């Protein structure tokens, strides 16, 4: 995709819908594949990452028919997967590689998972260590990086205390726990996204959660269940923050997932003074709500490390709000941003600095001094979807025109981002 040009806008107005939640879409595909029966998934996210998950499962003998915003998965049961003919390519999807490793570790055949570009620079020792403790045999490139060669093994249960807060690592262990003898226990230090626990319970797994401790009994059995995927709050984050920073804006984002472990962004923005309301709440195994946002004068705050797991993907959008807020915003312990699709601390600091923002990095802390305005500039996506969307909304609020290179990277999570934004720009 060629570089795109962005001119500032007067305001945002109207109703908008964001695509289905990426995290839930991944899990619905995976659990539907190893369940018994047919799972119908509504509002599944059609994006690069989820499509790689679907193709990986198809390569293992699962029938997945996609179309009209949904997917039909014909489950083969826990041990019904077949050995793929070749290496399984998961693109740049860290969720696919980490969660599928938990599933493939317990199979009766060997699998090789390969990735592309940025994924090959993301650490996999985080899953290799706990899965190896369960009896898995996984070889990697030097340093614990992809590709991963997974030898199907008989797994046993473990009690594992998480070393870093990561929903992907936790999920890999729980999925492997489906294949293990006995009860697998995962103890978290901080609460992380619980989509896997909710989905496993929805599909009939024997799983219990008590505070920071999760227990799953194996070998398990999953039964097909229909899934309706709510809108992705990580995608909604960019529309929300755009409406907050551009004067005169008022938008309603319909049907956004309201999982409590994903609520950190709304809590932080509200603490900064953003005018955000919820309406039309729906309650299922994954709750949802409409989000109503109005432009607001915001102020800097201190964002503590313990809330970061609930908003890690939304931090690039918060960088932009902080840059235009009164006073100083401090984000503590944000080192996890360095191991995403790109080093997002570097990408966001470089881009926003070009626009006149004042951002400093002190160890793993980020310090942002608010400025009165941002200036148009030539910006870089760094091939990262969330950096790209964050800089697009910054450009809409800037004085003067801007451009962003390689904007096609938004296809990783929000393929309709630019067209949906066009609907509400004034």
Active site residues: 313
**Tokens for 85?**
């003919």
**Tokens for 105?**
């570790």
DSSP state of 21: P
Residue of 279, 193, 280, 292 whose CA lies nearest to 239: 292
DSSP state of 85: S
On the 0-12 / 13-18 / 19+ scale of CB atoms within 10 A, 31 is: buried
CA distance 29 to 50: 8
Residue 71: C-alpha distances to residues 29, 66, 132, 179 (Å): 8, 4, 33, 26
DSSP state of 134: T
For 212-264, the DSSP string reads TEEEEEES---B---EEPPBPHHHHHHHHHHHHHSTT-EEEEEEEE--GGGTH
Residue 294 CB neighbours (<10 A): 15
User: Residue with structure tokens 């951002």?
Assistant: 359
- Residue 184 backbone phi and psi in degrees, to 5: -90, 135
3-class secondary-structure state, position 113 = strand
């Amino acid at each position: 995709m060629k570089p795109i040009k962005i001119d500032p806008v007067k305001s945002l107005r109207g109703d908008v819908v964001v695509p289905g939640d990426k995290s839930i879409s991944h899990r619905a595909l995976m659990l539907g594949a190893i369940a018994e029966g047919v799972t119908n998934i509504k509002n599944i996210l059609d994006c690069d990452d989820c499509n790689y998950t679907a193709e990986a499962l198809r390569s293992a003998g699962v029938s997945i028919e996609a179309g009209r915003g949904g997917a039909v998965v014909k489950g083969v049961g826990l041990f019904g997967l077949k050995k793929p003919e070749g290496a399984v390519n998961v693109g740049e999807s860290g969720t696919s590689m980490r969660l599928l490793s938990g599933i493939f570790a317990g199979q009766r055949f060997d699998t090789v998972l390969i990735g592309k570009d940025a994924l090959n620079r993301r650490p996999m020792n985080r899953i290799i260590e706990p899965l190896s403790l369960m009896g898995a045999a996984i070889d990697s490139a030097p340093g614990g990086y992809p590709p991963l060669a997974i030898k199907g093994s008989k797994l046993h249960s473990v009690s594992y205390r998480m070393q870093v807060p990561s929903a992907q690592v936790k999920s890999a262990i729980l999925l492997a726990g489906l294949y293990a003898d006995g009860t697998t226990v995962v103890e978290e230090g901080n609460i992380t996204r619980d989509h896997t626990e909710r989905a496993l319970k929805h599909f009939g797994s024997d799983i219990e959660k008590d505070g920071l401790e999760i227990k799953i009994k194996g070998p398990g059995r999953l039964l097909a269940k229909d899934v309706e995927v709510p809108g992705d709050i990580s995608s909604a984050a960019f529309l929300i923050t755009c409406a907050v920073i551009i004067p005169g804006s008022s938008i309603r984002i319909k049907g956004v997932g309201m999982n409590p472990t994903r609520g950190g962004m709304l809590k932080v923005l509200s603490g900064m003074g953003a005018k955000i309301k919820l309406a039309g709440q729906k309650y299922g195994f994954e709750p949802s709500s409409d989000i109503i946002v109005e432009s607001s004068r915001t102020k800097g705050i201190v964002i503590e490390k313990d809330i970061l797991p609930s908003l890690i993907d939304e931090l690039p959008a918060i960088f932009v709000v902080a840059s235009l807020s009164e006073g100083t915003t401090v984000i503590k312990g944000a080192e996890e941003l360095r191991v995403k699709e790109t080093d997002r601390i570097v990408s966001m600091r470089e881009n926003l600095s070009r626009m006149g923002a004042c951002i400093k990095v002190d160890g793993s802390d980020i310090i942002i001094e608010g400025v009165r305005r941002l200036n148009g500039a030539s910006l870089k996506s760094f091939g990262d979807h969330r950096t790209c969307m964050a800089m697009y909304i910054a450009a809409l609020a800037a004085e003067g025109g801007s451009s962003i290179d390689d904007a096609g990277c938004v296809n990783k999570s929000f393929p309709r981002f630019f067209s949906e934004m066009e609907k509400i720009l004034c």
